């Protein structure tokens, strides 16, 4: 067998093996971020649309579980921020259930203050993580 043919076969085998390895790895979870105004757990119309988009994606991909991560920024006491994160996560969970998803698939994580020290909008959110 010629050297070129052996190299071509070796490259083809490596590509096939790499393709099999890639198929075995689960895709990364889908993440939707729902933002809130300061000290609020009320969903805005834009936030409701993001939740509806997440619900639609969950149905389309046969998502097996949904992680709801409540966060708050550094304004306020840690205890108040923890409660706010819980209320935000619950508001999102209620909206997902209203959109037809089964609460039994939800797991809520209340992160509270993220520790970033950011007082802006980046930490005033709930992440909806679709896990397949």
Predicted confidence (pLDDT) per residue in 52-102, tens digit: 999 999 999 999 999 999 998 888 888 888 999 999 999 999 999 999 999
Alpha carbon separation from 45 to 70, 88, 92, 130 (Å, rounded):
19, 15, 12, 21
CATH homologous superfamily of 27-131 equals: OmpA-like domain (3.30.1330.60)
Count CA within 13 A, CB hemisphere, residue 11.
6
Q: Where are the domains of the chain?
A: 27-131
**Burial status of residue 114 (CB atoms within 10 A of its CB: 0-12, 13-18, 19 or more):** middle
Confidence (pTM): 0.75
Which residue has better confidence, 68 or 112?
Answer: 68
Q: What is the average pLDDT value for the chain, to the nearest integer? A: 83
130/119: higher pLDDT? 130
Is residue 5 predicted with pLDDT exceeding 60?
no
Residues making up the chain, counted from first to last = 132
d(CA 105, CA 97): 10
Which H/E stretch holds residue 89? helix 78-98
Residue 20 region by backbone torsions, left for phi larger than 0, else alpha for psi between -120 and 50, else beta: alpha
Task: Note the pLDDT of residue 53.
Answer: 96
* Mean pLDDT of all residues in 21-27: 50
């Amino acid at each position: 067998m010629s050297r070129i043919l052996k190299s071509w076969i070796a490259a083809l085998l490596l590509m096939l093996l790499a393709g099999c390895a890639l198929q075995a790895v689960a895709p990364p979870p889908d993440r939707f971020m729902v933002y809130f105004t300061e000290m609020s757990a009320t969903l805005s119309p834009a936030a409701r649309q993001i939740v509806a988009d997440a619900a639609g994606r969950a149905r389309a991909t046969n998502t097996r579980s949904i992680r709801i991560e409540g966060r708050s920024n550094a304004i306020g006491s840690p205890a108040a921020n923890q409660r706010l994160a819980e209320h935000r996560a619950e508001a999102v969970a209620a909206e997902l259930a209203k959109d037809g998803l089964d609460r039994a698939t939800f797991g809520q994580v209340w992160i509270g203050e993220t520790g970033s020290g950011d007082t802006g909008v980046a930490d005033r959110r709930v992440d909806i993580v679709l896990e397949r």
